[in-house]
Chain A
Amino acid sequence: MKNIQQRIRPLLIKYLALPSDVVLELPRITVIGQIHAYIENHKGLALFTDEELRLRATKGYIQIKGSSFVLKMMLPEEILLEGTITDIRFISE
């Protein structure tokens, strides 16, 4: 059953032009310059310090590095990060 779903979803994106983040349950990251990062569709916070934010995603983690990090807003599936961002990296398990 899951197999069929996984096969259908890319087809949905391709032919029905549905947004890929919704259909595939992938995180959407909006970055405004170096100062803001807005992450939606994550699966929870794993680590947060002044210089690093690590969020769980469907597969693996999202790692954001920088300095003077503040979580401006936390909602169940959204996070707004403020600070100076230097790099964003996807870590697969």
Chain B
Amino acid sequence: MKHTQGKFLSGYVTILVKGNMPELFFQKCVEQGISVWNVRKKGVDSCVGNVKLSDIHAIKQIKRRGNYRISFIGRKGFPFLFHRFIKRKEVLFGLLIGIFAIIFLSNIIWKVDINGLPKEIEEKVVKQLESYGIHQGAWTLSLGTPSDIQKKLMRDVPELLWIGVQKKGTTFQLEGVEKLIVKEDKVKGPRHLVATKKGTIKKMYISKGVPQVAVNDFVKPGDVLVSGVLNQSEENNKEKDKNKVFVASEGQVIANTWYEVAVSIPLEAKYEVLTGKQEKRYYMGINDFQVPIWGFKTPEYADIFVEQNENPIYFLKWKLPFQFIESSISEKTYHTTKRTKEEAIQIGIEQAKQELVYELGPDAKVISEKVLHVTTERGKVNLELYLTVEEDIVKEVPIQKNSKDGD
């Protein structure tokens, strides 16, 4: 009876055939490949039988060829049930409301879980999250992606070494690692302070150790600036070992160092500026198709910059193929500036200074700059600069026991 399996799902009808020899009508149906079941003779000229809903069309064609009258006396199966169900408006309405309620509730944050952080930092993180709009009961559609939130948190909470942000259904799970400020070991082995770069010494602040150089001395990389060995002046070889005291030398040695930098600055620069005018639009995304739901008018901006933020909609824990898309359209303008050669040189110097300070750290200071060479080529000014920088050149080097014995 394989052929009648699933007949309930696809739906079937009971037909009454009237005419001469009605059973032959079913025979014709069977010859056409239509499956027929429960055929019963009702009288001399009438016969009932069941056929699938999908075969109705073929049956009508067979009817046209013969001399039979057909009436449908029973409709059974899911399509008919469904049809009847659809007709009841209130049930359908309730069902729709139910689905919407589930979708609505699936897209709300029910819980924010923070693990692995001490109480006070957790509090801070919660406060930050709230300022981003992430708290219990918030609507998830307008929030950023977890990785965005992670970046923002890392930026705004300096105590965090790392934080993992995960969105699991309606729960935000945050796993944090506190930045442990490791106190530097107070007890350190004896050490020298050694120069890392060549330069002339400007200032020295030594809190421990014996300075080996003086202000205005020229030093090369590897030169000992501050020695960790006290009583070095002791001439007596025999007593040397006894009198020697090793300390962990500490201090700052600020020196003038020199750098040669090459920069090239275009004479004509183009850049984009957002004017601050902005329009927001909201879309419903279905796969790649976007249906606007709010914000229909096209802003009259000459040039636009579009930023799109897509948020998937959830049904319980499943991601639906719909997205809520927030797109902001900002007006932008293009600017072109032309610089004279002198301006370009000025900009080049500033840029070189900034880059160098960025590379050396915030303690470095550029004190003077000198233009060595200027060439203009294909609308660009190429500069070679000589910069003098004031910076700390100290590096700590431990004193080896062996080498000090050999001294």
Known: A50-B41, A75-B30. A45 touches B36 (CB 8 A): no
Known: A70-B40, A71-B49, A75-B3. A45 touches B35 (CB 8 A): no
Interface check B23, CB cutoff 8 A: yes
Interface check A48, CB cutoff 8 A: yes
Contact of A45 among B4, B24, B33, B37 (CB under 8 A): B24
A2-40 CB mask vs B (1 if < 8 Å, else 0) is: 000000000000000000000000000000000000000
- Nearest CB of chain B from residue A50's CB, rounded to whole Å: 5
Interface check A66, CB cutoff 8 A: no
Interface check A49, CB cutoff 8 A: yes
Contact indicator A71/B3 (Cβ below 8 Å): no
Which residues from chain B sit less than 8 Å from chain A, CB to CB?
1, 3-4, 21, 23-24, 26-27, 29-31, 33, 35-41, 47, 49
Contact indicator B35/A69 (Cβ below 8 Å): no
Residues in B with CB closer than 8 Å to A48 are 23, 39, 41, 47
Interface check A47, CB cutoff 8 A: yes
Contact indicator B38/A44 (Cβ below 8 Å): no
Contact of B37 among A47, A49, A72, A76 (CB under 8 A): A72
Query: With A and B bound together, what is the CA distance between A74 and B1 in angstroms?
Result: 10
Contact indicator B41/A74 (Cβ below 8 Å): no
Of the candidates B3, B30, B35, the one having the most CB atoms from chain A within 10 angstroms of its own CB is B30
Contact of B26 among A45, A47, A49, A70 (CB under 8 A): A45
Query: With A and B bound together, what is the CA distance between A48 and B22 in angstroms?
Result: 9
Output the nearest chain B residue to A73 by Cβ-Cβ distance.
B37
Contact indicator A74/B39 (Cβ below 8 Å): yes
Query: With A and B bound together, what is the CA distance between A53 and B35 in angstroms?
Result: 18
Query: With A and B bound together, what is the CA distance between A45 and B22 in angstroms?
Result: 11
